RNA sequence: GCCACCUUAGCUCAGUUGGUUAGAGCAUCAGUUUUGUAAACUGAGGGUCGUCGGUUCGAAUCCGACAGGUGGCUCCA
């Protein structure tokens, strides 16, 4: 809000939201209005048309009405009135949602709408003192409770476009009635709007679901079920390379791999506390033999605690660090599923360190360093969120422990010079988290890496170690996943790379194209494949009866890092001219290399996980 | 789970107000060709129009349920 440009854009968007509401009220005089805040790139307005449902088909007439209002150049006038009077106004004009907000405002001096601050609600609630009066803005025959500011008149807004209509619960609570939320984008100039819409078109091209299909990385099957992705050979190479890197980073720092079954008696989760909190989201498994109630594991920490608990531990043994990349299963609601970003079979590159209190700091440092190394190598910039508890009773453990845990996480983040933001209500029920957030192609944020500090689980499972003075003490658990979930990570990573994977994790690293199908050529190509495979390079051959041009085109579309055409010239000489994928190449010139030198260079690049070629 | 929208060949899409045997490009297969850095030529196969039910003389087209998907909301250990 500091600079003028931001302020003005904000006013433009907010004013456009009012124009939207005005237009809807003219077309549907019975409309009951919710809130209409500014959001990234635009605005929305929540409406309730009683029985009628708006659809995108209605947008043309709404937009036409909006343009009429804009043409009319109605000035935005600010009015002020005491809260009590405002309640009367809301009642008089049949606006129950506004009335509810005003009543709350009157009662407590603030509104409780979750995650919507007073500014977004358009309320005049400032500071924490009791609010005496609220402001309204009027344009033409439309008046709305609103803090402002607005542009001077309706013709001073910029370019806008209604985007979609979606359901949204009143005040974000599932039990409340569902309103319709009309989303629009708005910018100061038509050019900026066009640029934004073009950007969205570009983003569609790198949508991980589209690329997953085009590059043959993963599929879904109606017979298998929704939210259950199947990874093809190519997709499996990609995920295993990434998982191997993630594991390596922690093995280097003292973690050891463990393995656990994918199901367990539900007793395990009753003990951990997960059953009480997430029981309805577990898949149940029935034994035909015993009376055991089994569940598919929705997470791994309880299993890992049982490995720790299997023998007495000394303070000298700590830290004990387990690493496990394994699938968990969660019965996510159908409407929450989407591509790879939200699935029901979730691979976690999970780890749990059991440490003494004096080892917490070092452990968190190690994990933050691992995360930095991973995302640095991948060229991804992440936002760091400190996920704290809120005042609700959704958390286990004493408030003192929580305060101490949150403080230690914050110190670690500061010590590692990470930029961060803090958010209440985002913690796990057993402890606070450092979450790393990545953005997808259209700017939606997803949590990837996470480091969590947990004093609760060791206590619930009665985990102990013997201290120097012979007494028993609970270890502290540090939970960590670097990719987070392989699936969700891939959804972001595929979009981040647009499917142009670096050599080290590219499913296909080199493609050899034969100029013709003569025996001599085929034989030569085979000998090159043998050499490349001998160096561990993922190499394929295109011997098909197609033109060289077509085979090159095909290799380009598969986004393969290196393509080599082999024919008479190569058989005769010992040099070849690799075709290097554009984003990898340092310059555009095609150069020739000795066969062995070329292969060795590529093999080294793959091993060292570099993002650019040195060829 | 809730709201809106979508579902035609492996993929991307046509299909006129309900009216005969549902089309195209790419991909696949066969033949011709033996190719030099982003698409050679010819031909063939491939669809109970997501599934089930209804309305109708007649349904890809209209209605309903279910399944799957998209965008949001809610949730996310």
Chain B positions with an atom below 7 A of a protein C-beta are 1-5, 11-12, 27, 32-40, 67-77
Nearest nucleotide to A299, CA against C1' atoms: B77
A350 in active site: yes
For residue A525, give both structure tokens. 């190509």
> Which of A330, A344, A385, A496 is flagged as catalytic?
A330
Give me the CA A520–C1' B45 separation in Å, rounded. 34
- pTM score above 0.90: yes
* A571, closest nucleotide (Cα–C1'): B36
With beta carbons less than 8 A apart as the criterion, state whether A36 and A20 touch. yes
Q: How far in angstroms lies nucleotide B37's C1' from the CA of residue A216? A: 24
Question: Which residue would you say has higher pLDDT here, A372 or A104?
Answer: A372
Is residue A486 classed exposed, middle or buried when 0-12, 13-18 and 19+ CB atoms within 10 A define those classes?
A: buried
- Whether A146 is a known active-site residue: answer no
Beta strands A445-454; A383-388: pairing state: unpaired
Does residue A480 carry a catalytic annotation? Answer: no
- A280-300: per-residue pLDDT in tens? 999 999 888 888 889 999 999
Strand (E) or helix (H) holding A499 = none
pLDDT at residue A124 in the model: 43
Chain-centroid distance, C-alpha A549: 39
Q: Would you list the DSSP string of A243-304?
A: HHHHHHHHHTTT-EE----SEEETHHHHHHTHHHHHGGGSPEEE-SSS--EEEE-S-SHHHH
Element (H, E) at A137: strand A133-139
Confidence class for position A109, pLDDT limits 50, 70, 90: low
Q: Across the strands, what pairs with A481?
A: A350, A450
For residues A301 and A294, the answer to whether their CB atoms sit within 8 Å is no
Residue A492 has what pLDDT? 97
Q: What is the pLDDT of residue A23?
A: 96
**pLDDT reported for residue A586:** 84
What is the Cα–Cα distance from A596 to A615, expressed in whole angstroms?
A: 13
Report CA(A215)–C1'(B9) in Å, whole number.
20
Q: What is the mean pLDDT of residues A117-124?
A: 45
Other C-beta atoms within 10 Å of A475: how many? 26
Q: Select which of A239, A352, A500, A551 is catalytic.
A: A352
Is the pLDDT reported for residue A247 higher than 90? yes
What the block records as the tokens of A467 is 């201290």
What pairs with residue A264 in β-bridges? A295
Q: What is the pLDDT of residue A265?
A: 95
Residue A82, C-beta contacts closer than 8 angstroms, at least 6 positions apart: A132, A133
A422 has pLDDT over 80: yes
What is the nearest nucleotide to A481, using C1' and CA?
A: B77
Which nucleotide has the shortest C1'-to-CA distance from A227?
A: B68
């Amino acid at each position: 809000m500091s600079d003028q440009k931001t302020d003005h854009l904000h006013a433009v968007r907010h004013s456009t939201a009012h124009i939207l509401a005005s237009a809807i009220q003219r077309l549907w005089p019975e409309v009951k209005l919710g809130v209409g805040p500014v959001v990234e790139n635009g605005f929305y307005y929540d409406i309730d048309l009683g029985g009628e449902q708006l659809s995108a088909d209605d947008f043309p007439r709404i937009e036409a009405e909006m343009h009429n209002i804009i043409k009319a150049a109605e000035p935005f006038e600010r009015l002020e009135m005491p809260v009590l009077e405002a309640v009367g106004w809301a009642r008089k004009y049949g606006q129950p949602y506004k009335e509810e907000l005003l009543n709350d405002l009157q009662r407590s001096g603030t509104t409780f709408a979750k995650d919507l601050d007073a500014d977004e609600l358009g309320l005049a609630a400032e500071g924490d003192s009791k609010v005496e009066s609220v402001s309204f803005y009027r344009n033409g025959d439309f008046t709305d409770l609103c803090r402002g500011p607005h542009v001077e008149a309706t013709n001073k807004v910029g370019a806008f476009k209604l985007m979609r209509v979606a359901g949204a619960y009143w005040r974000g609570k599932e039990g409340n009635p569902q309103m319709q939320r009309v989303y629009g984008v708005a910018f100061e100039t038509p050019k900026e709007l066009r640029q934004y819409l073009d950007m969205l078109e570009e983003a569609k091209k790198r949508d991980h679901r589209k690329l997953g299909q085009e590059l043959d990385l993963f599929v879904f099957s109606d017979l298998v079920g929704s939210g259950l992705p199947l990874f093809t050979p190519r997709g499996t190479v990609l995920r295993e390379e990434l998982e191997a890197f993630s594991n390596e980073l922690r093995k280097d720092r003292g973690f050891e791999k463990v393995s656990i079954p994918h199901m367990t008696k539900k007793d395990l989760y009753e003990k951990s506390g997960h059953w009480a909190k997430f029981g309805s989201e577990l898949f149940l498994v029935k034994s035909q033999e015993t009376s055991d109630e089994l569940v598919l594991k929705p997470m791994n920490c309880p299993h890992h605690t049982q490995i720790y608990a299997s023998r007495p531990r000394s303070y000298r043994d700590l830290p004990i660090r387990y690493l496990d990349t394994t699938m968990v299963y969660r019965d996510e609601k159908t409407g929450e599923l989407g591509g790879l970003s939200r699935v029901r079979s979730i691979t976690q590159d999970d780890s749990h360190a059991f440490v003494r209190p004096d080892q917490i700091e070092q452990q968190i440092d190690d994990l933050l360093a691992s995360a930095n190394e991973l995302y640095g190598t991948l060229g991804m910039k992440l936002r760091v969120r400190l996920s704290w508890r809120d005042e609700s009773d959704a958390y286990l453990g004493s408030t003192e422990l929580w305060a101490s845990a949150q403080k230690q996480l914050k110190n670690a983040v500061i010590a590692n010079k990470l930029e961060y933001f803090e958010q209440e209500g985002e913690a796990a029920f057993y402890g606070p988290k450092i979450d790393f957030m990545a953005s997808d192609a259209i700017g939606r944020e997803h949590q990837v890496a996470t480091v969590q500090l947990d004093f609760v689980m060791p206590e619930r499972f009665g985990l102990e170690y013997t201290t120097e003075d012979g007494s028993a003490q609970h270890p502290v658990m540090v939970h960590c996943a670097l990719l987070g979930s392989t699936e969700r990570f891939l959804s972001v990573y595929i979009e981040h790379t647009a499917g142009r994977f670096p050599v080290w994790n590219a499913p296909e690293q080199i493609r050899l194209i034969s100029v013709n199908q003569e025996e001599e050529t085929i034989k030569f190509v085979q000998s090159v494949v043998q050499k490349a495979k001998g160096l561990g390079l993922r190499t394929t051959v295109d011997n098909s009866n197609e033109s060289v041009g077509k085979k090159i085109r095909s290799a380009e579309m598969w986004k393969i890092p290196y393509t080599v055409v082999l024919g008479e010239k190569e058989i005769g000489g010992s040099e070849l001219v690799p075709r290097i994928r554009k984003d990898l190449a340092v310059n555009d010139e095609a150069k020739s290399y000795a066969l062995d030198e070329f292969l060795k260079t590529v093999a080294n690049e793959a091993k060292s996980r570099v993002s650019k070629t040195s060829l």
